[in-house]
Chains A and B, each alone.
Chain A
């Protein structure tokens, strides 16, 4: 009981501004990363299944490369190694965005590819039999069904990506984790601040998970 009696939760409200700006940055980073990941992931997935080896092999390589490299290493590489070996010098935020999006795109690509492959061959044939071109059959028939089917796994990626943004604190991006860790360093209130950090992540992630569940129910297609 002694331990609990000595807690001082006032460090949370007194650092609310700092934590709030961290929350904002984390949310912005998550949204922008997810949007970029969905765009690039979709492109990678489409290239992967298009049937032309010149396109599918590079896509497979890119996806497998970024899925295999730990995100932390990827962030370090973009932030420290890239400027040392090339003229590309990115701000911490941009470096974080590049690292997270590369990783996110790879995961999204795999999920969307699986979704596309899960649509029965007969659906595509029915579309072709109507006289659709292959690209139209893909856009009108295969892809809309695939997208609906992959919303749950995409939601999982989204939430895990949201939590992974905490890694960007290591390259000096002032996200929520970075803010919390700096408060901890100043106040030594380790238990309070880490608990608060966990609660904030939970409060932020839970509605996102719920939102995606809702989306899934709305868009679900029965066969």
Chain B
């Protein structure tokens, strides 16, 4: 594997996709996806809309069921029963495109909800750690606010803190900046970069090619439910010989210019 080059070959695989297939009736969404993520690695999954990126990510914590193949988390195949899945999910943080903060709770309430309700931590210790995490994402002062009073970028940073509160072994980001106004993308990417520098294992579905290039250890390009390229960002995003990858990257640049236009 290309990992040997990075000197990270000794790190254990935390997540393995092994021929993962998913179809809705006749329509195939994932057609035998295989790759793995090592502990401490940051892997960005990119690809055109409808390529199955989000579906793949959602299979990891069982929000989506797959049809065939295997997904191994920390060496064990994902369980099928809801009860066992709930145990696995405790160790996998997830950040959603639309934040999905709990609107009926305060910002700090959102962050302590998991530790208190799922891990059974005491409220006092969960709050102390929650405040630390809010400080880490720069939002300690917003602890008593309702999510609705925060900007999109702030909400997404709270969502990251909420996921981190569970002390996950793996973090999943499902287009975490796609629903944000352009001027807020940077603050969320900044938090994600910091997390990567701290050594968190991250699987990131994103359209931010610049971010992927700077932060990812490895980029996986998905197209029509298949991995069409995988490797270090410089290889995949800059020097790929694969015509489908080149076509996608041209498309992205074009889309990116489009998205920036209304900023003035």
Min CB gap B6→A, angstroms? 29
Determine if B148 and A222 form an interchain contact, defined as CB atoms under 8 angstroms apart. Answer: yes
Question: B103 contacts the other chain (Cβ, under 8 Å)?
Answer: yes
Determine if A222 and B117 form an interchain contact, defined as CB atoms under 8 angstroms apart. Answer: no
Asked if A123 meets B86 with Cβ closer than 8 Å, knowing A128-B63, A140-B117, the reply is no
Min CB gap B211→A, angstroms? 22
List the one stretch of A79-87, A103-111, A141-149, A182-190 in contact with chain B: A141-149
Nearest to A132 among chain B residues (CB) is: B118
Determine if A125 and B96 form an interchain contact, defined as CB atoms under 8 angstroms apart. Answer: yes
Does more than half of chain A's interface fall in helix, strand or loop, or is it mixed?
helix
CB contacts (< 8 Å) of B146 on chain A: these are 221-222
The number of inter-chain residue pairs (CB within 8 angstroms) is: 73
Docked Cα-Cα span, A85 to B61, in Å, equals 56
Docked Cα-Cα span, A129 to B166, in Å, equals 10
Min CB gap B129→A, angstroms? 15
List the one stretch of B87-95, B242-250, B253-261 in contact with chain A: B87-95
Determine if A134 and B113 form an interchain contact, defined as CB atoms under 8 angstroms apart. Answer: no
Determine if B114 and A122 form an interchain contact, defined as CB atoms under 8 angstroms apart. Answer: no
CB contacts (< 8 Å) of B214 on chain A: these are none
Min CB gap B186→A, angstroms? 24
Asked if A125 meets B117 with Cβ closer than 8 Å, knowing A131-B89, A222-B148, the reply is no
Question: A130 contacts the other chain (Cβ, under 8 Å)?
Answer: yes
CB contacts (< 8 Å) of B118 on chain A: these are 130-132, 136
Docked Cα-Cα span, A140 to B118, in Å, equals 11
Determine if B102 and A126 form an interchain contact, defined as CB atoms under 8 angstroms apart. Answer: yes
Question: A133 contacts the other chain (Cβ, under 8 Å)?
Answer: yes
Question: B98 contacts the other chain (Cβ, under 8 Å)?
Answer: yes
CB contacts (< 8 Å) of B86 on chain A: these are 128, 131-133
Question: A5 contacts the other chain (Cβ, under 8 Å)?
Answer: no
Give the interface size bracket for A toward B: 20 to 34
Min CB gap B150→A, angstroms? 11
CB contacts (< 8 Å) of A223 on chain B: these are 103, 148
Docked Cα-Cα span, A122 to B147, in Å, equals 15
Determine if A133 and B100 form an interchain contact, defined as CB atoms under 8 angstroms apart. Answer: no
Determine if A122 and B103 form an interchain contact, defined as CB atoms under 8 angstroms apart. Answer: no
Docked Cα-Cα span, A132 to B162, in Å, equals 13
Question: B104 contacts the other chain (Cβ, under 8 Å)?
Answer: yes
CB contacts (< 8 Å) of B63 on chain A: these are 125, 128-129
CB contacts (< 8 Å) of B26 on chain A: these are none
Min CB gap A143→B, angstroms? 10
Determine if A221 and B103 form an interchain contact, defined as CB atoms under 8 angstroms apart. Answer: yes
Determine if A129 and B94 form an interchain contact, defined as CB atoms under 8 angstroms apart. Answer: yes
Question: B83 contacts the other chain (Cβ, under 8 Å)?
Answer: yes
Docked Cα-Cα span, A221 to B119, in Å, equals 27
Nearest to A136 among chain B residues (CB) is: B117
Question: B82 contacts the other chain (Cβ, under 8 Å)?
Answer: yes
Nearest to B102 among chain A residues (CB) is: A141
Determine if B117 and A132 form an interchain contact, defined as CB atoms under 8 angstroms apart. Answer: yes
Min CB gap B83→A, angstroms? 7
In B98-117, the 8 Å CB interface with A consists of 98, 100-104, 113-114, 117
Knowing that A221-B104, A221-B148 touch, tell me 6 more A-B residue pairs with CB under 8 angstroms. A128-B61, A131-B87, A131-B118, A131-B119, A131-B166, A140-B113
Sample 26 A-B pairs with CB under 8 A, ordered by A number: A122-B96, A122-B100, A123-B102, A125-B63, A125-B96, A125-B100, A126-B101, A128-B86, A129-B89, A129-B94, A129-B163, A130-B90, A130-B113, A130-B162, A130-B163, A131-B88, A131-B90, A131-B166, A132-B86, A132-B117, A132-B118, A133-B83, A136-B117, A141-B102, A144-B104, A145-B103
Give B contacts to A, CB under 8 Å.
61, 63, 82-83, 86-94, 96, 98, 100-104, 113-114, 117-119, 146, 148, 162-163, 166
